[in-house]
Chains A and B, each alone.
Chain A
């Protein structure tokens, strides 16, 4: 009894990266903020690439609280969607169905220190994902992983198959 031969590494990577790219490419606002994702297996890190347009306080200068909130919310929605499609990606579905995105019910941002004018990173953790609702926590940092500059918790309505 031998296990089937594992797929070549580049086939696996290509499949996962294509699924992630397709998920992200559909949302114009993600391009507007220039948010990209680093992927290690199923772990995602969102990156908000710095741009002058993200500044809220030019005197300091500091990132706009609204840009930070949007970054965290986007990171939460993509993580939630990614976890929804992961079994399909790995289940060998030839064609992924066009996925409806979760809708935000509420979102609470905790600003811990001012965002510096440079790239920001975020990772989201799905604390509970039910049939209808999900609760997600997100942490964002810049230079130092242990020094968060913002964190957030949000509740989301999961997309229903037939509505």
Chain B
């Protein structure tokens, strides 16, 4: 990533207080696709018996990454908001490992963007969770 792009990526997360609080890092963005990472953090544990991260934190990661994918679409929306988001949890993320999400905005209409996302940990062959969502696509006037 060029220095310019890296700066834009860092600013994107800095501008979203909740994503910043969850320690998210934007890795890649462009052409309706985004990759965001969330390092393991004991404050985000949802299952005290195993130390597994709470599904809600994974949802926040999926939602942020999907929104970033929409914003980076070539048609350049002015803004976006989640209409609905469905998450399927395949397995528990391994405690101690970073969760990485890739979201892809696969279709846009005049006012709606459709997105798919997948989250993995260090074992990239078995997804931790997948998501599908619909987002508003507000075109700049």
Contacts and interface: CB of A to CB of B under 8 A. Distances in A.
Interface of A: 26-29, 31-33, 52-59, 62-67, 69-71, 73-74, 100-101, 103-111, 114
Nearest to B65: A66
A66 B62 CA distance: 8
Interface of B: 15-22, 42-49, 53-57, 59-64, 67, 79, 81-89, 92
Contact of A66 (B18, B42, B79, B89): B18
- For chain A, what secondary structure do more than half of its interface residues adopt (helix, strand, loop), or is it mixed? mixed
Contacts of B88: 105-106
A23 B20 CA distance: 28
A65 B63 contact: yes
Contact of A104 (B43, B55, B85): B55
A70 B59 contact: yes
Contacts of A32: 43-44
A109 B135 CA distance: 12
A136 to B, nearest CB: 13
A69 B133 CA distance: 13
Nearest to B17: A55
A62 to B, nearest CB: 8
A8 B55 CA distance: 40
Contact of B17 (A52, A70, A103, A111): A52
B84 A111 contact: yes
Given A58-B17, A66-B60, 16 more contacts: A28-B48, A29-B54, A53-B17, A54-B18, A55-B18, A56-B17, A64-B16, A65-B63, A65-B81, A65-B82, A66-B57, A108-B84, A109-B59, A109-B84, A109-B86, A111-B82
Contact of B43 (A28, A74, A100, A101): A28
Given A33-B56, A55-B18, A69-B60, A107 B86 contact: yes
14 contacts: A27-B45, A29-B57, A31-B43, A53-B21, A57-B16, A58-B15, A65-B81, A66-B18, A73-B59, A103-B89, A108-B84, A109-B59, A110-B84, A111-B83
